[in-house]
Amino acid sequence: MTTHLMNTYARQPVAFVRGEGAYLWDESGKRYLDAVAGVAVNGLGHAHPKLVKAISEQAATLIHTSNLYRIPKQEELADRLCALSGMDKAFFCNSGCEANEAAIKLARLYGHGKGIEVPTIIVMEKAFHGRTMGTLTASGSRKIQAGFEPLLSGFARVPFGDIEAIRQVAEHNKSVVAVLVEVVQGEGGINVLPSAYLVELRQICDAHGWLLMLDEVQTGIARTGTWFGFQHSGVVPDVMALAKGLGSGVPIGACLARGEAAEVFKPGSHGSTFGGNPLACATALATLDVIEEENLLENVRLRGEAIRSGLRQALASVPGVVDIRGEGLMIGIELDRPCTELVTVARDAGVLINVTADTVIRLVPPLIYGEAEVNVLIAAVSGMVKNYLQQAA
Ligand SMILES: *Cc1c(COP(=O)(O)O)cnc(C)c1O
């Protein structure tokens, strides 16, 4: 192992050399069922032939040109994403934090356009929006912020899912320009925002001229069983951030906007060298094609429901299991105690899982899971949870 990497990750002692579908293989030839999918990135699983073909062909044709010029694939991707989401315009970047950073800048510019000198964005407790200075300030975790002060000004924090708290801010803070929220908090512990909350939030935003900005970096691109998480509620945002699943592992992010918000950026207000290059856009277009061709929205709903109900059955009345929740293939199992050790237990057993917020097992498998993978995952996870809770008791 090299000592020349900065010490930013507590990496697990395993390296994968190959992947196919829902499975990965390590250097020793051991096979793993993947329920992490590169943290909700590899929606099509590994080495999907259609994706590999699209990437290879585009790489052999044109990888990058620059946003100095028209990029037809970027225009095509913007059209597709807007048609799927009901948004009007897209800006492309390379990651989730950049997509949120674009949203934050857009909201501030929108505020200044309305004569608000110190525009404020409402953000949530336990939120995760990324690691840039803007997005770590927007995130609701001291662990992410500590040591990086001074943080940015212009954010007001409220508890997740508490509509009264939003009303309070609306009454007292006249400098609010936008609300930024995840439809399902990922890093925060798979916390699902009720549809009724989003409906009310939309009304409050409309009444005050605020932008409703959704961070769909983890929930977007079919993860919850609809193209975007907000589509469960019928509410449409003004701004939406995408990344993770959009490029199936080739880095791409997008900030989509609608109506007035779509007209805020002008030439010179924002930009990116790599954002939306031909390779990334061809990959994203192929990702959308495969999701449609293989009917993955329905698959996600079906498999997600099967995993949740299977886990509920297997773990019914097991003391220490606090909750089993989620939407589509974004699933959380909350225990009454820290359970990070389970990641190692599962890996030894040939299953890749993740633990977030200390006590929540997070399952974000590839969208292509079949019945066999569902059954293996239910049996493995419920078995190790039962064992773990018994041992620790
Ligand atoms: C992962 C994630 C981000 C950050 O994305 P990066 O690509 O790591 O910058 C932002 N928001 C949410 C909801 C995420 O899950």
CB atoms under 10 Å from CB of 221, counted, come to: 28
The per-residue pLDDT for 99 is 99
Tally the C-alpha atoms within 13 A of residue 259's C-alpha that lie toward its C-beta.
Answer: 13
Q: How many CA atoms lie within 13 A of 351 on its CB side?
A: 26
Annotation marks residue 53 as catalytic: no
Testing ligand 1's pocket by substitution, the residue of 42, 128, 185, 230 carrying the most ligand atoms inside 8 A of its CB is 128
Residue owning the nearest CA to atom 6 of ligand 1: 96
Looking at this protein, which amino acid is placed at residue 10?
A: A
Q: Which residues line ligand 1 (CB under 6 A)?
A: 95-97, 100, 128-130, 182, 186-187, 215, 217-218, 243-244
**Is residue 129 a contact partner of residue 155, using CB atoms and an 8 Å limit?**
no
User: Residue whose CA is closest, atom 10 of ligand 1?
Assistant: 129
Hey, what CATH topology would domain 52-293 get? Aspartate Aminotransferase; domain 2 (3.40.640)
Give the distance (Å) from ligand 1 centre to CA of residue 315: 30
Ligand 1 pocket mutation, candidates 97, 144, 213, 354, criterion most atoms within 8 A of CB? 97
Cβ–Cβ contacts within 10 Å for residue 4, how many?
5
Phi-psi region for residue 290, left (φ > 0), alpha (ψ -120 to 50) or beta?
A: alpha
pLDDT, residue 392, reads 58
Contact (CB, 8 A) for 236 and 221: no
Q: What is the pLDDT of residues 31-47, one digit of tens each?
A: 999 999 999 999 999 99
Which ligand 1 atom is at minimum distance from the Cα of 131?
9
Structure tokens at 379: 């049996």
pLDDT band, very low/low/confident/very high, at 248 (cuts 50, 70, 90): very high
Residue in 26, 27, 81, 8 with CA at minimum distance from that of residue 254? 81
| Sequence ranges of the domains in the chain | 16-34+295-392, 52-293
Asked if the domains at 16-34+295-392 and 52-293 fall in one CATH topology, the answer is no
Question: What DSSP character marks residue 77?
Answer: H
79 is catalytic: no
Residue nearest to atom 5 of ligand 1 (CA): 96
Output the pLDDT for position 2: 83
Verify whether residue 155 is a known catalytic residue.
no
Instruction: Give yes or no for a contact between 182 and 218, defined as CB atoms under 8 angstroms apart.
Output: yes
Which atom of ligand 1 has the smallest separation from the CA of 130?
4
Give me the CATH topology for the region 16-34+295-392. Answer: Aspartate Aminotransferase, domain 1 (3.90.1150)
What is the average pLDDT score of the chain? Answer: 97
- Longest Cα pair distance anywhere in the chain, in angstroms? 63
Nearest CA-CA partner of 221 in 77, 34, 21 = 77
Q: Answer whether residue 393 shows pLDDT above 80.
A: no
What pLDDT, on a 0 to 100 scale, did the predictor assign at position 1?
Answer: 76
Catalytic residue (one of 91, 128, 230, 265): 128
Is beta strand 31-34 parallel, antiparallel or unpaired with respect to 351-352?
parallel
- Exactly one of 215, 230, 238, 265 is catalytic; which is it? 215
For the stretch 348-373, pLDDT in tens is 999 999 999 999 999 999 999 999 99
pTM of the model as a whole: 0.98
